[in-house]
Amino acid sequence: MARPLVLVLGGTRSGKSTYGLARVRELAGRRPVAYLATALSAVAGDPELEDRIDRHRRSRPADWPTIEVGRDLPAALATAGDSPVLLDGLTLWLAAVAGDDLADIDAVLDGPVAAALEAIARHPAPAVVVSDEIGLGMVPMDPGARAFRDLQGLVHQRLAAAADEVHLMVAGLPLTLKPRS
């Protein structure tokens, strides 16, 4: 089986995580999947986010190892070895590596983003990446929020160009933007 890269985009509660989970299960077959978590370090004192993480945890098999990504996505992928991976979600990782200073988007794109996209492309097993599509709404008034929205859109473009499949989730329904050939 080829090692496809699948990008699943969607808004809040669009069904993107559920779809990503189902897609990686299909691609992995009987093999356990390494779950690359990006929200674990962000929950201190946030009961609502802790509840979301717990629901995600309960939705996947107990034998799937969870790897906390932190800021070093290439290292997390290396820890996964040759296991299929589900990265959920790219948005929180990008927020962690971009930080508060988004004055130089190119530095983020050419540094940690380029390294992460290269690591994802080199991963020897199927990879499903789930990310929030945040660019469909109104233009934010805050310059930092606008810069992050722009950064996220550019990252999605680069990842979609490298992906074998791209799906946009809307109201729980997948819209296939780039079918696997």
Active-site positions read: 56
Q: Cβ distance 6 to 165 under 8 Å?
A: yes
Burial call 65-88: b when 16+ CB within 10 Å, e when fewer:
eebebeebbbebbebbeebbbbbb
Torsion 31-70-166-48 (CA) sign: positive
Rounded to whole angstroms, how far apart are CA atoms 130 and 163? 12
Maximum C-alpha span of the chain = 47
Q: 3: closest CA among 158, 179, 164, 174?
A: 164
End-to-end CA distance of the chain: 13
